[in-house]
Structure 1
Amino acid sequence: MKISIVGAGAMGSRFGYMLHEAGNEVILIDAWHEHVESINKKGLITNDNGLIKKVKIPAVLPERATEIPDLIILFTKSMGLEPMLESIKGILGKNTKVLCLLNGLGHNETIEKYVDNKNIFMGVTLWTASLKGPGHVELSGGGNLEIQNIDPEMKECAKQVCDIFNDARLNAIYSENVLLSIWRKACVNGAINSSCTILDCNIKQFGKLKQAPRIIRSIIKEFSDVANKFGVKLDVEEVARLVESTYDPSKAGEHYPSMHQDLIQNGRYTEIDYINGYISKKGKEFNIDTLYNDLITNLIHGKEELIIS
C-alpha cells in the first residue's frame, strides 16, 4: 500500500519505519527541513529497543509532496493540523483514506473541511517514541492502536486498514467506540504529559510521587465532567488505573512524554490547548469547574514563555 506519514516526528517516524519494514511504500512528509534532509541523505536512523538501523525511506517537505497515496496517516501537532492539510491539498485524492492519530480533542471537525467523511478514520494509539535529533528516532516498549470509520458504511475498509497495521506489528484493533478511547487517551495525556513537563521528569518518576494519585484523579474528574456533555461516559477510577499502568518501566515508564520532548527538550510550543486547555475552555462554556486544568494550562503557557521567549 502507498502510505504517506504526514507529520513525521517521533511517532510518525516510528509508524513509517514499521510500515516500511512490513513492505509498504512509505513516504515521510514533514515541515522540519533538517529532519527531511537528514533522512534523505543518511536514511532514518532507528534505535528499536537497542537494535540500531539506517532505513532508506523517502522524505519530503509538505509543499513538495506530489504523489497521491492510498492512505494518509496524520501525526502533526494539533496546532499544525489545519496548516498542514492546506499544504497537502494536492495529494488528497478522492479515494485517499485519511487516518487521524493526533493527541488531543476536536480534530475531526478540522479534517472534515478537507476530506469527505467516507474517507476519514479516527484512531488512538498508546505507542511511544522519542526523536533524538534530525533523522534519528528511538523506539521503546510496546503499544496498540484502535481505529474506527466516521462513515458507518466504511467499516470493512477500517478493518482492512487494521490488517495493514497488524502486518507491521502495530497491534491494531477495530473499535466500535473510538470516541471513548480518544477521550480516555486524552485523559492519560492530560494527567501525564503536562505533569511530567511541569515537573521535568519521566513517567516512572512522576508515578513514584506521593502526590500523583490525587493529581491524576483530580484532572481526570474534570475531563469526565466535560466528556459527559458530549455523551461520553468516563469512569474516573478506571482511567486512573490506566494512567497508573503507564508507570511500569516495561511499558512507558522510562519515557518522557511528547509535551516534555517538545518544550523541555526542544524548546517548542506544546499541544496544551488541545488537551488540558480544551477542558479548561469547554468548562467555561458549560459552566463546569475545571480548576486543575485551568492551572495546568496556565503553568504550561508560562513555561513556554520562559523557555521559548
Structure 2
Amino acid sequence: MPGGPARTGSLHLPLAGTPVQALPDPGPLRRPGGGPVQRLGLSPFHRLRPGPGTVGIRGIVKIAIAGPGAMGCLFATYLAEAGHQVALLDHDRQRARRLAENGITVEGIRGRHRARPAVTSDAASVGAVDLFMVWVKAYHTADAVELHRAAVGPDTVIFTAQNGLGNPQRVLDKLPAASVVAGTTTVGANLRAEGRVHHAGEGDTVIGAASPGAAAALDGIASLLGDAGFPTTVATDIAGAVWRKVVVNAGINPLTAILGVENGRLLELAPARRLMEELAREAVVVASGQGVELDEQEAVALVVRVAERTAANRSSMLQDISAGRRTEIDAINGAIAALGPAPVNRAVAELVRARERLAGGRD
C-alpha cells in the first residue's frame, strides 16, 4: 500500500504445528446488561447485530487470523483487547513457537499495546472459528486457506482485505461453499521485527459480500471491527471499492519500487508522474471491461492525492524489494494487464519482477 512504511490490507507448507489448547466455547452470548442473544442460525454474526432500541449487541467471538505480519498482528492485538478469543495462525512452526512465548507488541498512533494471543501452525488445535481473517500476501492466499482449513467450519465467515485483485476467488477456489467477505482498508502498519508492529495510521475499512452466503454477516463484522477501533462501512459495491484501491496501488507502488523513492518523489519527477497517471487511466479502462465503472479524472486525482498525503512514506512494494522479498505485483499491475489491454501496467510489472530477481525475492 502506498501508505508505507505502513503495510495495509485489501481483497485475494503442510507443516506440523505447535499445539495450543483448543479455545473454549464462549457459552451463551449476552446483550449489554441483559439476557442471552438469540442465535438465529443464519450466521454467527447475527448475534452481533444491533437490536431494536439497543446500541449494539456485543459478545465474544472466536477468531483465527492467518498471517503474523503487520496487519495480522495488529488486528490480533486489538481484537484480543476487545475481548475476543483470537488465535494467530502461522505456517512457520518455529516462528509460531517464538510468537507464542514472546507475545506481540504494537506501538504507534494508539500508544503501546501488548497481547499474547494463541499462536500456532496447527489449525486443528484451534478448531472451527466464527471469523477467519486472511492477512497473508496475495500470492499465499490459497496455501494459507488450504493449510489452515481445519479452522473453517460450516458457519465460519472468511474475511479478506488484502492488497490486489482476486483474493476472494482464491479462497472460493479452495472452499467453494464458504461465506466470504471482501474488503479494503487504509489502516497503516509495518512490521519492525518479529511480533513488533508500528501502527502508523488509522484509516477506514470497507466490506461487502463476496459470496451469496456472506451478506447476513456484514453488519455484525462491521460492528465487531468498529468496537476494536477499526471504523467499518458496509458497501453495496465492494467491487468498486476494491478497484479504487487497486488503481491507487497500481499507480504508486511499482514506480516507487523501480525507482527506489518515497511516494512523494513521483509527483516531483515529471516522467514518473506521467507514468503514474497513465497507469491509473489504464486500470480504469480495464475495470470498465470487468463491469466496474470508475471516473477516470477522479481516479487519477485520487492517486495524486494519496501520493501527496503519503509523500514521505515508502510503499510496501518498495519495502519488499529492499528486503529481498517477493512483491504483490502479480495481484496488482500484473492482474490488471492480464484482464485487458494495459501495456504500461504490463511493462512496469515486468520491471518490478526484474527488480525482484536482482534483489533475490523471486526465482
| Structure 1 and Structure 2 fold alike (TM over 0.5) | yes
149, 153, 156: which one pairs with 1:93?
Answer: 153
Report 1 or 2 for greater relative contact order, CA contacts < 8 Å, sequence distance ≥ 6: 2
SS of equivalent residue, structure 2 residue 222: helix
| Cα displacement (A) at 1:37 | 3.5
Structure 2 residue corresponding to 1:18, chosen from 78, 101, 104: 78
What is the CA distance between 1:207 and its match in structure 2?
A: 3.9
Equivalent residue number for residue 267 of structure 1: 324
Q: Answer yes or no: is 1:239 the counterpart of 2:291.
A: no
The answer (yes or no) to whether the contact 1:194–1:296 under 8 Å persists in 2 is yes
Deviation at 1:110, TM superposition (A): 1.9
| 2:334 is aligned with 1:280 | no
**2:245 match:** 185
1:149 maps to a residue whose letter is: A
Q: Which has the higher helix share?
A: 1
Query: Which of the residues 346, 351, 357 maps onto 1:294?
Result: 346
Change in 2 beyond 3 A, CA 1:23/1:245? farther
Q: Deviations over 1:82-125 (max 9, x none)?
A: 11111112121000000111211122222113335561111111
8 Å contact 2:127–2:151 — kept in the other structure? yes
Aligned partner of 2:316 in structure 1 is: 258
Larger deviation, residues 198-207 vs 71-80: 198-207
Give the equivalent residue in structure 2 for 1:51.
111
In the alignment, structure 1 residue 39 sits paired with structure 2 residue 99: yes
Q: Give the deviation of 1:127 after TM superposition.
A: 1.3
After TM superposition, the structure 1 = structure 2 runs for residues 118-133 of structure 1, keeping only pairs within 5 Å, are 119-133=179-193
Structure 1 distance, partners of 2:185, 2:105, is 22
Unaligned runs of 5+ in 1: none
| 1:127-150 deviation digits (Å, cap 9, x = unpaired) | 121111211111112211111123
**CA offsets 1:245-282 (integer angstroms, 9 cap, x no match):** 32355xx4443222222221x21111111110112222
The amino acid across from 2:173 in the alignment is K
What is the CA-CA distance between 1:162 and the residue it aligns to?
0.4
| Structure 2 equivalent of residue 140 of structure 1 | 200
| Contact kept in structure 2, 1:62 and 1:84, CA below 8 Å | no
Contact 1:196 1:206 in 2 (8 A): yes
Structure 1 residues 35 and 51, CA gap change in structure 2 (3 angstroms): farther
Question: d(CA) in 2 for partners of 1:50 and 1:161?
Answer: 22
| SS, match of residue 96 in structure 1 | strand
User: Comparing 69-78 with 195-204, which one deviates more in the overlay?
Assistant: 195-204
Contact conserved, 1:126 with 1:144, CA < 8 A, in 2? yes
Secondary structure at the counterpart of residue 153 of structure 2: coil
- Corresponding residue for residue 83 of structure 1: 143
Q: Partner letter of residue 144 of structure 1?
A: D
- SS of 2:292's equivalent? coil
Moved runs in structure 1, 4+ residues, more than 6 A? none
Q: How many residues align?
A: 301
Q: Given the superposition, is the C-alpha separation of residues 215 and 183 from structure 1 closer, same or farther in structure 2, using an over 3 Å criterion?
A: same
Map of 1:157 onto structure 2: 217
Q: Residues 15 and 253 of structure 1: is their aligned pair in 2 closer, same or farther, counting only changes over 3 Å? A: farther
Per the TM alignment, residue 153 of structure 1 is displaced from its structure 2 partner at its CA by: 6.0
Q: Aligned pair 1:220/2:220, yes or no?
A: no
- The structure having more radius of gyration, on CA atoms, is 2
Query: Residues 37, 263 of structure 1: CA spacing in aligned structure 2 closer, same or farther, 3 A cutoff?
Result: farther
2:356 pairs, out of 295, 304, 308, with 304
The worse-fitting range, judged by mean Cα deviation, of 41-50 and 17-26 is 41-50
Give the TM-score taking structure 1 as reference length: 0.89
CA contact (8 A) 1:130 1:261 kept: no
> Shift in Å at residue 234 of structure 1?
1.6
Give the Cα separation in 2 of the matches to 1:69 and 1:292. 43
2:358 aligned partner, one-letter code:
L
Structure 1 residues 282 and 135: alpha-carbon distance in aligned structure 2, compared to 1, 3 A threshold: same
Question: Among the aligned pairs, what percent are the same residue?
Answer: 27
Amino acid aligned to 1:19: L
Which residue is 2:259 aligned to?
199
CA–CA separation in structure 1 for the residues paired with 2:78 and 2:267: 30
